Amino acid sequence: MIDFAAVAAEIFLASAICAIILVDAFVSQEHRQVTYLLSLVAVVGTAATTLFCGADGTVVTASGSYIADSAGSMLKMTTYLIVALVFLYSRDYLIEQRLFKGEFFILGLFGLLGIMVMISAGSLLTMYLGLELLSLSLYALVAFKRDSAVAAESAMKYFVLGAIASGTLLYGTSLIYGVTGTVEFRGIAAAASEFETLNLPFTLGLVFLVVGIAFKFGAVPFHMWLPDVYEGSPTPVTLFIGTAPKIAAFALAWRVLVEGLGPVDVDWRSMLTVLAVLSLAIGNIVAIAQTNFKRMLAYSTISHVGFILLGFIGGDYGGVEAAMFYTVTYAVMAAGAFGTILLLSRKGFESEQLDDLKGLNARSPWFALILMLVILSMAGIPPLVGFHAKLAVLMSIIDADMLWLAAYAVVMAVIGAYYYLRVIWYMYFADSEADAPLEAATDMRIALSVNGLVLVLVGMFPGGLLDLCARVLN
């Protein structure tokens, strides 16, 4: 039997999406704000359902295919916040670019539903279904700007490579099932704990699963899709891809590797070590050569993925707690960075180049400060939250007696600080090439300001969020 209270949030969101599709079909373009408002109401309603119908402890239902627990609820609540910010930040841009259509919000909600399924997946097949729901929504969103050849090319690349990654995950799932006789994470963990040595089919299945996870994270050498998709997508889509799916990727790695394949962690930790080392190096070094702001943030994302993977390498649940803390804070930082790009964009002009940031302090000292806070937090400068995120991960690595890896990560972070500081130089010390004032709705200005100030507040008092991550995981 299915515990419908445990899956109430998913049921509510799916029902809301169906209702919004019907309403949007009868709404004229002049009244498209109705779809936008209903989408925000759906996100708020889903959050309320999660809050009031959340499980007390851990509930396993649907024959072990669905898990409702405190960690999942926390990740979902963070995702709701991020998706609401995506809709809010994107509204003015979509109106100015004549892309204000219901499909953007509906596909975003479908992607949110896929993330929720991934977060609460109790088996490999449930995880795969959630992943495909998210991926198919993202493929369509990347090609959302129909008259853009660049967006169509990016969508095709993403679709082809995403299909390969999905096939890799599915093949790995079939191998794991063939050896263990189950696709449930708890059953896989029980079977793996009885292995004295790993046999070849199980090892191959493990490798294929790690490859699929690495692709969804955008880790090197499976990162080839990420810079092109970030640059070629409309900026609201890049904002969505660069934030909420990262939480889904963390859930994928946490459920599959830690909960399902925890007994054989020695094998997959060595694989993640290679991925982390390569991601930190390629992400930070190649980002230095970028002149496109979105592309630079794409390689920055790859370097941040390297830090998240370090958390999984760090041994016990302390490393996973650090990885969760890093993922949540990075999603907030990325929302602020891409939100600023949307703020700078105006009708007929895409603010995607680093040169477009020149003299931002002269045009808007307040939002130059907000972007500086976001950038410094990404660089890991104290007392901002990005510093504590990096510190938590490094401490987990040191506790695992991998001092060399921690030292390597610090060196890569110092290299990465160069291109972050270059952004600040453009804002404060380069002459402005535009004198047009920044125009944005009041709600976006308030949300973006709060977005940046939260990085300072949590950075000054990180203990609350760190303790919350530890409590929900343990």
295 token code pair: 């592309």
In a domain, 218, yes or no: yes
In a domain, 2, yes or no: no
Share of the chain above pLDDT 70, in %: 97
In a domain, 361, yes or no: yes
Residues sharing a CB contact under 8 Å with residue 56, sequence separation 6 or more, in sequence order: none
| 76 vs 68: CA distance, rounded Å | 11
385 token code pair: 């939250």
Which residue has 């949300």 as its token pair? 447
Instruction: Read off φ and ψ for residue 143, nearest 5 degrees.
Output: -90, 20
For residue 146, the one-letter residue type is R
253-267, 270-284, 336-350 — most confident range: 270-284
pLDDT tens by residue, 287-315: 999 988 999 999 999 999 999 999 998 76
pLDDT tens by residue, 366-413: 989 999 999 999 999 988 999 999 999 999 999 888 999 999 999 999
- Residue 150, pLDDT above cutoff 60: yes
Q: What is the pLDDT of residue 348?
A: 55
Between 220 and 57, residue with greater pLDDT: 220
Q: What is the pLDDT of residue 55?
A: 66
Q: What is the pLDDT of residue 346?
A: 66
| 124 vs 183: CA distance, rounded Å | 5
Using CB atoms within 10 Å of the CB of residue 472, give its burial: 0 to 12 exposed, 13 to 18 middle, 19+ buried: middle
Q: What is the pLDDT of residue 104?
A: 93
pLDDT tens by residue, 234-247: 889 999 999 999 99
Q: How far does the chain reach from its first CA to its final CA, in angstroms?
A: 27
Q: Which of 5-9, 30-34, 110-114, 345-349 has the lowest mean pLDDT?
A: 345-349
pLDDT tens by residue, 184-202: 999 999 998 887 777 888 8
Residue 121, SS3? Answer: strand
Indicate the average pLDDT of the chain: 89
What's the domain range around 130?
8-473
In a domain, 3, yes or no: no
* DSSP code for 438: P
Q: What is the pLDDT of residue 434?
A: 65
- Residue 232, pLDDT above cutoff 90: no
| 251 vs 213: CA distance, rounded Å | 10
Q: What is the pLDDT of residue 432?
A: 73
| 90 vs 255: CA distance, rounded Å | 31
In a domain, 456, yes or no: yes
Q: What is the pLDDT of residue 343?
A: 86
| 110 vs 322: CA distance, rounded Å | 29
Alpha carbon 174 to chain centroid, angstroms: 27
| 455 vs 458: CA distance, rounded Å | 6
Contact 458, 329 (CB under 8 A): yes
What average pLDDT score do residues 437-462 get?
A: 88
Number of separate domains in the chain: 1
Q: What is the pLDDT of residue 241?
A: 93
- Residue 439, pLDDT above cutoff 80: no
Helix or strand (DSSP H, E) at 352: none
Number of other residues whose CB lies within 10 A of the CB of residue 237:
29
57 token code pair: 């402890």
What average pLDDT score do residues 148-161 get?
A: 88
Question: If phi over 0 gives left and psi between -120 and 50 gives alpha, with beta otherwise, what is residue 158?
Answer: alpha
- Residue 433, pLDDT above cutoff 70: no
In a domain, 52, yes or no: yes
In this structure, the strands spanning 59-61 and 66-68 are antiparallel
Contact 176, 188 (CB under 8 A): yes
Q: What is the pLDDT of residue 454?
A: 94
pLDDT tens by residue, 26-64: 988 888 899 999 999 999 999 999 988 866 778 888 888
Alpha carbon 88 to chain centroid, angstroms: 17
Contact 328, 409 (CB under 8 A): no
